[in-house]
Amino acid sequence: MKKIKHTKHMKKAHSFFWFLAGIVILAGCGKPHEAEHLGNGDSDETGGFKIVKVFQTPGYAQDLVKRDHYLYMAQGEGGLLVVDVADPENPQIVSITTDNVRGYSTKIEVKDSVAYLAAGSFGVTVINILDPNEPFTTVWNLNMKPAKNIHIMGDYLVTAVSEQGVNIASISIPTQPEVRAGLSTTGYAMDVANTNDTAYMLVATGEMGLAMYDISDFQQGYGVYPNVGWCDTPGYAEDVELVDEKSLAYVACGTAGLQIINYADTNNVHIVGSYDASGYAKELVVKNNFVYMTTELSGVQIFDVADETNPMLMGVVDTEFALGIDVDDAYIYVADEDEGLIIIAIPENLK
């Protein structure tokens, strides 16, 4: 396990110090919040979503990915945190990696035994997680800047780099990415997704909405990728996930909430459904006709999108500052900047 460094960081409304000498494990505390289940007002175990654990993390939780029974968390200046959630009601810290993890890590993606952290002007950090107890950094300050988000596309690392557009790196050697070329975008590239056949790349581009690029002639990351479609969205397009079999893109659009976009016809990429709920839509996951979305101060919102033209708000779970999210068959895992890791049980009728 890596040595945990002493940091001091100011938050939006308050500040506090966290001190760790050697290895200190901070357990979750306080009474769990209960979810509001819209429609019947119930908040019991069978009627709605319910927080089963609030687990204070030593850093400022920004994003997370679940693989097997481990959560890999980007925690700002606190580097990479690995948490064992085999028992979701009793998470255990496995390791913390800060050595050679530069900048403020805000997004994370994992492929096989490697984690990639987006750290803004400090580019991308690459960490070997083959042994979750002893991760170690193999690359830091990778020149894909300013790294806003990371997407894995086969053997390629695709990074949204804000005003610089999108950068592409080969990860045929996963721990040693080789930066190739990329593409320029109109607007600020915030997140990237690709169609299953890797013919198209869709990019959330902030105030410019959703852009679509032809990457069918990929040329191992050195190709020229024309813009073939575009959809103006309300709000600020932060995050995108595709359901390719329906040609639908689900976009978290800041103050404009959830936007659902049909991209079947590149000449007519258009919004087919939306839900403008409270908060600032930040990140989302689509699973089994449901969208799970973080909204910062307004917590986690869950939508039924079986009918994409009429998304329905199914539940809201109140948290302090929800940012990152991942979902499995039974639980929602949330990286909350103030509260740390929050684990929410999905009600049986929605699984």
pLDDT tens-place string over residues 217-235: 999 999 999 999 999 999 9
- Is residue 290 within 8 Å of residue 302, measured between CB atoms? yes
- Angstrom CA distances, 338 to 127, 206, 297, 331, stand at 25, 25, 10, 20
**Looking at 91-231, which runs of residues are DSSP E strands?**
92-97, 107-111, 114-118, 124-128, 136-142, 149-153, 156-160, 166-170, 178-183, 191-194, 200-204, 210-214, 227-231
**Per-residue pLDDT for 6 more than 80?**
no
Mean pLDDT, rounded, for 182-186: 95
Backbone angles phi, psi at 297, to 5 degrees: -65, -15
**Predicted pLDDT at 308:** 98
Binning pLDDT at 50, 70 and 90, where does residue 44 land?
very low
Could you give the domains of the chain? 34-350 (2.130.10.10)
Binning pLDDT at 50, 70 and 90, where does residue 36 land?
very low
Alpha-carbon distance 263 to 246, whole Å?
A: 9
**Per-residue pLDDT for 74 more than 50?**
yes
Mean pLDDT, rounded, for 305-323: 97
Mean pLDDT, rounded, for 106-124: 98
Of residues 8 and 116, more confidently modeled: 116
Cα Rg of the chain, angstroms: 19
Mean pLDDT of the chain: 89
**Predicted pLDDT at 216:** 98
**Predicted pLDDT at 264:** 98
* Dihedral angle sign, alpha carbons of residues 222, 227, 228, 232: positive
**Per-residue pLDDT for 191 more than 80?**
yes
Alpha-carbon distance 49 to 52, whole Å?
A: 9
**Per-residue pLDDT for 214 more than 70?**
yes
**Predicted pLDDT at 31:** 31
Of residues 349 and 308, more confidently modeled: 308
**Per-residue pLDDT for 246 more than 70?**
yes
Bridge pairing between strands 166-170 and 312-317: unpaired
Mean pLDDT, rounded, for 50-64: 97
Alpha-carbon distance 179 to 142, whole Å?
A: 8
Of residues 37 and 140, more confidently modeled: 140
Alpha-carbon distance 199 to 207, whole Å?
A: 25
**Predicted pLDDT at 11:** 39
Mean pLDDT, rounded, for 152-166: 98
**Predicted pLDDT at 281:** 98
Binning pLDDT at 50, 70 and 90, where does residue 277 land?
confident
**Predicted pLDDT at 349:** 85
**Predicted pLDDT at 32:** 36
Mean pLDDT, rounded, for 249-254: 98
**Predicted pLDDT at 351:** 83
Q: Structure tokens of 342?
A: 């929050």
pTM (2 d.p.): 0.88
Backbone angles phi, psi at 55, to 5 degrees: -120, 110
